[in-house]
């Protein structure tokens, strides 16, 4: 599942190829993959230059010098220039450009979304800050008095943008915090550890081009490498890398949650 590091890797791959090119059209093969009518969206983007490409949270963003086009890959989405024959039947939308070959949204589970934002619209409203430095994370955690489990809070995109299930579990393990700890109950040391470790883990995952578990691959079909660094995610029953205790799996906020019951005491 693409989270912040995977989306960062995708954008880094696309940026040199698309920046400066112009939009031609958007085409849908599954109507829900695009918010709005494809002819109407095409009319609004046709001929527009891609000024900048960047990532915000888990969103891929194309700055069309005014309007923004965003792509969220959700569970199984991928952006590919040359879909393989096997991927052909999972193409849900295509972006067409003046110079570059068309870019396909391959998305078996149909959860990915493409959306156009007008220049006068608030772009990605309510999205929290990107947690790539300790101070940003510390500030986001500082004012929290919530009784919600810290795991749920880390997944709340309004608090911090870009953390998904994998990196939430890995960060809590690294900070030695039980995922069910009420966010407001974290002490100063725990908040400091979490604030330090979240950016470190995300940056290390970016360096390794993300985590490939099932279907994530970048636009050049390359695997990520962070799956070899996972300490708890999908490691239920395996010995903890620190203490040897078997990793537990529970459900928190309808999400599978993995932790070491010895290293991460309540």
Partner DNA sequence: CCTTAGTCCTGCATGC
Partner DNA sequence: TGCATGCAGGACTAAG
Separation CA 92–CA 123 (nearest Å): 24
Is-contact 184 145, C-beta < 8 A? yes
Query: Does 231 sit near DNA (CB under 7 A)?
Result: no
Q: Quick one: which segment of 17-25, 62-70, 217-225, 251-259 binds DNA (CB under 7 A)?
A: 251-259
Judged by beta carbon, residue 24 or residue 232, the one nearer DNA is: 232
Q: Does 32 bind DNA (CB under 7 A)?
A: yes
188 noted as active-site residue: no
What residues numbered 44-103 form the site for DNA, per CB under 7 A? 57-58, 72, 74-76, 90
Q: How far apart are CA 218 and CA 104, in angstroms?
A: 13
Q: Report DSSP letters for 58-117, one per residue.
A: TEEEEE-SSSEEEEE-TTT-EEESS--TTTGGGEEEEEEESSSPPEEEE-TT---EEEEE
Q: Does 224 bind DNA (CB under 7 A)?
A: no
Residue 157 C-beta: closest distance to DNA, Å? 5
Structure token digits, residue 103: 């870019």
Token pair in block for residue 52: 């900048």
CB of 32 to DNA, least distance (A): 4
Check residue 43 for interaction with DNA (CB under 7 A): no
Q: Do 131 and 161 form a contact (C-beta atoms < 8 A)?
A: yes
Whether residue 58 lies in the annotated active site: yes
Catalytic residue positions, numbered: 2-3, 58, 255
Q: By CB under 7 A, name the binding residues for DNA.
A: 1, 3, 32, 57-58, 72, 74-76, 90, 108-111, 146-149, 152, 155, 157, 164-166, 214, 234, 253-256
């Amino acid at each position: 599942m693409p989270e912040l590091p995977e989306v960062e890797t995708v954008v880094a791959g696309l940026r040199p190829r698309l920046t400066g090119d112009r939009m031609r059209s958007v085409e849908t093969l599954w109507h829900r993959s695009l918010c709005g009518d494809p002819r109407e969206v095409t009319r609004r983007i046709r001929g527009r230059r891609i000024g900048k490409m960047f990532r915000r949270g888990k969103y891929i963003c194309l700055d069309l010098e005014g309007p923004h086009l965003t792509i969220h890959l959700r569970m199984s989405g991928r952006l590919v220039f040359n879909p393989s024959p096997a991927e052909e039947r999972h193409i849900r939308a295509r972006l067409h450009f003046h110079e570059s070959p068309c870019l396909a949204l391959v998305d078996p589970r149909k959860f990915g979304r493409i959306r156009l934002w007008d220049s006068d619209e608030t772009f990605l409203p309510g999205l929290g800050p990107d947690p790539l430095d300790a101070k940003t994370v510390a500030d986001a955690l500082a004012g929290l008095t919530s009784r919600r489990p810290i795991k749920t809070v880390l997944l709340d995109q309004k608090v911090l943008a870009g953390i998904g299930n994998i990196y939430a579990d890995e960060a809590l393990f690294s900070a030695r915090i039980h995922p069910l700890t009420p966010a407001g109950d974290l002490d100063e040391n725990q908040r400091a550890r979490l604030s330090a470790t979240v950016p470190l883990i995300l940056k290390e995952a970016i360096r390794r081009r993300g985590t490939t578990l099932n279907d994530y691959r970048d636009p050049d079909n390359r695997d990520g490498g962070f799956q070899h660094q996972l300490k708890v995610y999908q490691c239920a029953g395996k010995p903890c890398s620190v203490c040897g205790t078997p990793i537990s799996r529970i459900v928190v906020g309808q999400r599978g949650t993995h932790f070491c019951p010895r290293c991460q005491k309540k």
